[in-house]
Amino acid sequence: MLSGISIWQLLIILVIIMLIFGTKKLRNIGGDLGGAVKGFKDAVKDGEKAASDKQLSEQKNETQEKKVTDKDQA
């Protein structure tokens, strides 16, 4: 399907889009899209960090509980 589109056809489509929307509006759309992608990446990174922090705190609590249990048994 898309493999049949040549570079010239893509260039013609790009020129038509530029004529319809104008370069300024396309630049604004590109900036908005880039900002949205950056925000999404930051949110994913923050979510991963929160999950890893939670996992580390749980491991730390388990280790402390094990030490207390070991002391009680001794």
In tens digits, the chain (74 residues) has pLDDT values of: 457 888 999 999 989 988 998 888 888 988 999 999 999 999 999 888 888 888 878 887 777 777 767 666 66
Q: Which residues contact 29 (CB under 8 A, 6 or more apart)?
A: 21
pLDDT at position 36 is 94
pLDDT at position 70 is 67
Q: For the chain, what are the domain ranges?
A: 23-74
Rounded to whole angstroms, the Cα distance separating 25 from 59 reads 51
